[in-house]
């Protein structure tokens, strides 16, 4: 059986085992279904990046299969995470646990797979500071791990933005701290987050004080997108415009929204102008 077939089987087994567990809270079932769909959406976004991004062009099929496997299995521990949360009220780090799980399985015990997945939910600096990453010799292998980590991170963000903007009515329950409050008070943005956004910085805090804060922190993921192909994909899906519409729904002041658009345009232009195309 190919590596990718084994990966599909593992994902399916985790999903089926966990969806069979019945918890009184309907959020559990919704979460399990969402993570199953999300894994496939991330796989789809990952395939597009693999097809278009120069770093992956001309690479052998064994390498590409490992890259696809890392993408598909990046959230493999999300199902167990949900069970632990609903059963024992226990919080775990699904990226670190996924890396440990994959390392323990002979077919997936490959640094290209488990190390690329390990920090996908953290700031990228945590990968660079990771002892196992630092121990890799400088050269192709380390560069490959870095790029597969970029691939996972970009595909994950695209899929999350896609589901948030396309299915906002359902997803607001998962993504917004106050999903039923669309009053003006939900438009406030803490100054530290606004400063991070204006400096094109990913915010590492959790901003739960208002719906606008939570959404802008999610929009700041833009500054952690690594590939031009990912931006092109976001534009093709019209994700920026859809996000601006959601900002309108939570009553972000029109002037503030214009500033958000301006910062975004300038960032995209500055980051990708050297490609000879404007990404904005």
**Site residues (vs Fe ion, CB under 5 A):** 75, 156
Q: Which is closer to Fe ion, CB of 81 or CB of 156?
A: 156
Q: How many CA atoms lie within 13 A of 24 on its CB side?
A: 0
CA distance 268 to 185: 30
Least separation in angstroms between residue 117's CB and Fe ion is: 10
CB 275, min distance to Fe ion, A: 27
Contact 112/131 with Cβ under 8 angstroms?
A: no
Q: For Fe ion, which is the closer residue by CB, 75 or 81?
A: 75
Give the nearest distance from C-beta 280 to Fe ion in angstroms.
Answer: 26
Instruction: Output the smallest distance, CB 258 to Fe ion, in A.
Output: 31
Cβ proximity to Fe ion: between 210 and 214 the closer is 214
Q: Give, in degrees to the nearest 5, the angle at Cα 77 between 124 and 69.
A: 70
DSSP one-letter string for 60-128: -HHHHHHHHHHHHTTTTTHHHHHHHHHHH-----HHHHHHHHHHTSGGG--HHHHHHHHTTTS-HHHHH
Using CA atoms, how far apart are residues 280 and 265, in angstroms rounded to an integer?
5
Q: Contact at 8 Å (CB) between 165 and 242?
A: yes
DSSP 119: T
Contact 185, 210 (CB under 8 A): yes
Which of 82/250 has CB closer to Fe ion? 82
By beta-carbon proximity to Fe ion, the closer residue of 143 and 204 is 204
Residue with Cβ nearer Fe ion (162 or 203): 162
**Distance of closest approach, residue 162 Cβ to Fe ion, in angstroms:** 12
163 or 231: CB nearest Fe ion: 163
Closest CA to 250 of 154, 203, 195, 186: 186
- Give the count of beta carbons closer than 10 Å to the beta carbon of residue 108: 23
């Amino acid at each position: 059986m190919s590596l990718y077939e084994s990966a599909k089987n593992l994902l399916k087994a985790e999903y089926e085992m966990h969806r069979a567990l019945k918890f009184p809270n309907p959020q559990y079932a919704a979460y399990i279904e969402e993570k199953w769909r999300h894994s496939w959406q991330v796989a789809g976004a990952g395939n597009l990046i693999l097809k278009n991004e120069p770093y992956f062009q001309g690479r052998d099929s064994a390498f590409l299969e490992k890259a696809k496997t890392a993408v598909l299995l990046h959230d493999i521990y999300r199902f167990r995470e949900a069970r632990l949360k609903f059963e024992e009220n226990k919080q775990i780090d699904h990226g670190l646990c996924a890396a440990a799980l994959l390392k323990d399985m002979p077919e997936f015990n490959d640094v290209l797979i488990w190390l690329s997945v390990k920090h996908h939910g953290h700031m990228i600096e945590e990968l660079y500071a990771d002892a196992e990453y630092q121990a890799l010799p400088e050269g192709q292998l380390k560069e490959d791990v870095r790029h597969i980590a970029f691939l996972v991170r970009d595909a994950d963000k695209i899929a999350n933005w896609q589901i948030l903007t396309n299915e906002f009515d359902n997803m607001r329950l998962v993504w917004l701290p106050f999903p039923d409050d669309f009053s003006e008070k939900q438009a406030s943005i803490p100054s530290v987050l606004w400063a991070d956004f204006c400096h094109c910085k990913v915010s590492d805090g959790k901003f739960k004080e208002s719906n606008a804060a939570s959404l802008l922190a999610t929009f700041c993921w833009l500054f952690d997108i690594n590939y031009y192909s990912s931006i092109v994909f976001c534009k093709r899906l019209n994700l920026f415009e859809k996000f601006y519409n959601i900002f309108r729904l939570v009553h972000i002041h029109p002037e503030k929204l214009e500033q958000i658009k301006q910062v975004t345009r300038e960032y995209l232009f500055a980051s990708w102008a050297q490609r000879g195309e404007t990404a904005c």
